[in-house]
């Protein structure tokens, strides 16, 4: 098979314009003699430490103002209580999230001071360390842009981290999508992903599809991720997340992308990244995971038996048994993984305590 990173940008672009017969030929190439028919997932809990965020994205329901928020900052007792409950469900991933630069908000800063912390990163480090040391779970953090020094600090107690590139199209900074979102500047996000590579942090990134970007933008974004991966080798998965309109957001009347666009892009990503898993969010694409498996997608991300998806609260997680049944119908298997992929469970990428816990949990889920 010829991988797309060996082709020209134009040839990559052409795939997004292919008709059904050309698409079927690519699907045949991807699936012929295919031996790995495993689709992976991690069993996680979602811990949104705060919904306060400096960005105001046109598609977001995660951000809340201090006035409308149910809470300003999750306290340590609640976080650890949720982690303890997750042990009954066999969860191995503690997904920590919070709004970007939340600690620039005075009310959040006051809360942190009351808890004897100076920043969100300090607080998160402590929570991650307690989770790592006291429970059979691995922290994974998605926190928006932070400094390289802060990345290094969190890497001491996190198995992996993530940040969506979303798009390389800087023009969207002037539209309803990102015009009041300084952290969504593509240059800043690219630098962050590169910094994670310099620190050898197993990393998840991806594209947000249908927010006003062109087909060329999608190719450019994937090529940028390919370039970063070729240099640092730390990207373990790419998420292709389709925009979903939601009630009350600025973009609630913006159409979601056609299914065929996501299918074609999945084919492109599969060919371009033979070394990286391609994830399609299952709760945004209910009953379509088998279809995307044929396109080459091989991961469905974190699924929580305990907590909701706070980024897409209207979209419930599929039940693991239902996903297994669907995939078994096409002779595929649903296989559990950790938040850090097997090939990164190595002392090059994981600090000592994280590495030892990852080895222990890896052995458990494979037995």
Cα separation, 364 vs 347, in Å, equals 19
Distance of CA 14 to CAs 25, 72, 139, 166, 239, Å? 14, 47, 40, 21, 22
Say if residue 215 is exposed, middle or buried (CB neighbours under 10 Å; 0-12, 13-18, 19+). middle
pLDDT tens for each residue of 208-255: 999 999 999 999 999 999 999 999 999 999 999 999 999 999 999 999
Q: How far apart are the first and last CA of the chain?
A: 34
Q: How far is CA 81 from the centre of its chain?
A: 24
| Interior angle at CA 354, CA 204 and CA 52, nearest 5 | 50
pLDDT tens for each residue of 111-121: 999 999 999 99
Cα separation, 127 vs 355, in Å, equals 18
pLDDT given at position 6: 63
Question: 57 labelled as ligand-binding?
Answer: yes
Helices vs strands, H then E, count in the chain? 12, 9
Three-state SS at 238: strand
Cα separation, 147 vs 62, in Å, equals 23
pLDDT given at position 3: 44
Question: 60 labelled as ligand-binding?
Answer: yes
Q: 225: closest CA among 178, 190, 183?
A: 190
Question: 91 labelled as ligand-binding?
Answer: no
Three-state SS at 176: coil
pLDDT given at position 1: 34
Cα separation, 38 vs 3, in Å, equals 21
In tens digits, the chain (367 residues) has pLDDT values of: 334 446 678 888 999 999 989 999 999 989 998 899 999 999 999 999 999 999 999 999 999 999 999 899 999 999 999 999 999 999 999 999 999 999 999 999 999 999 999 999 999 999 999 999 999 999 999 999 999 999 999 999 999 999 999 999 999 999 999 999 999 999 999 999 999 999 999 999 999 999 999 999 999 999 999 999 999 999 999 999 999 999 999 999 999 999 999 999 999 999 999 999 999 999 999 999 999 999 999 999 999 999 999 999 999 999 999 999 999 999 999 999 999 999 999 999 999 999 999 999 999 999 8
Cα separation, 317 vs 39, in Å, equals 16
Distance of CA 75 to CAs 111, 123, 154, 232, 244, Å? 9, 10, 19, 36, 31
pLDDT given at position 175: 97
pLDDT given at position 316: 95
- Into which CATH architecture does domain 4-366 fall? Alpha-Beta Barrel (3.20)
Q: Are 115 and 311 in contact (CB under 8 A)?
A: no
DSSP secondary structure letter of residue 183: G
Q: Are 113 and 119 in contact (CB under 8 A)?
A: no
- Domain residue ranges of the chain, discontinuous segments joined by +: 4-366
Q: Are 223 and 271 in contact (CB under 8 A)?
A: no
Q: Are 278 and 269 in contact (CB under 8 A)?
A: yes
């Amino acid at each position: 098979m010829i991988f797309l990173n060996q082709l020209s940008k134009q040839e990559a672009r052409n795939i997004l314009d292919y008709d059904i017969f050309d698409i079927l030929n690519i699907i045949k190439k991807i699936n012929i003699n295919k031996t790995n028919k495993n689709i992976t997932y991690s069993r996680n809990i979602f811990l949104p430490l705060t919904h306060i965020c400096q960005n105001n994205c046109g598609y977001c329901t995660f951000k809340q103002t201090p006035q409308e928020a149910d809470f300003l900052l999750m306290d340590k007792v609640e976080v650890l209580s949720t982690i303890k409950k997750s042990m009954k469900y066999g969860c191995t991933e503690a997904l920590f999230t919070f709004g970007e630069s939340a600690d620039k908000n005075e009310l959040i800063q006051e809360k942190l001071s009351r808890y004897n912390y100076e920043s969100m990163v300090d607080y998160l480090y402590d929570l991650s360390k307690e989770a790592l040391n006291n429970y059979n779970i691995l922290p994974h953090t998605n926190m928006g842009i932070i400094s390289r020094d802060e990345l290094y600090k969190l890497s001491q107690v996190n198995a992996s981290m993530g940040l969506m590139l979303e798009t390389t199209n800087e023009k969207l900074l002037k539209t309803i999508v990102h015009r009041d979102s300084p952290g969504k500047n593509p240059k800043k996000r690219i630098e962050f992903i590169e910094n994670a590579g310099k620190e050898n942090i197993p990393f998840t990134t991806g594209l947000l599809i249908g927010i006003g970007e062109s087909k060329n933008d999608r190719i450019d974004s994937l090529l940028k991720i390919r370039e970063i991966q070729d240099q640092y080798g730390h990207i373990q998965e790419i998420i292709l997340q389709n925009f979903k309109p939601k009630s009350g957001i600025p973009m609630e009347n913006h159409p979601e992308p056609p299914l065929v666009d996501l299918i074609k892009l999945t084919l492109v990503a599969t060919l371009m990244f033979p070394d990286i898993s391609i994830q399609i969010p299952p709760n945004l694409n209910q009953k379509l995971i088998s279809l995307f498996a044929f396109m080459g997608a091989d991961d469905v991300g974190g699924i929580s038996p305990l907590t909701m998806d706070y980024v897409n609260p209207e979209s419930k997680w599929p039940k693991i048994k239902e996903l297994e049944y669907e995939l078994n119908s096409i002779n595929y298997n649903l296989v559990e993984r950790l938040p850090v992929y097997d090939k990164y469970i190595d002392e090059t990428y994981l600090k000592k305590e994280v590495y030892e816990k990852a080895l222990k949990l890896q052995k458990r889920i494979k037995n």
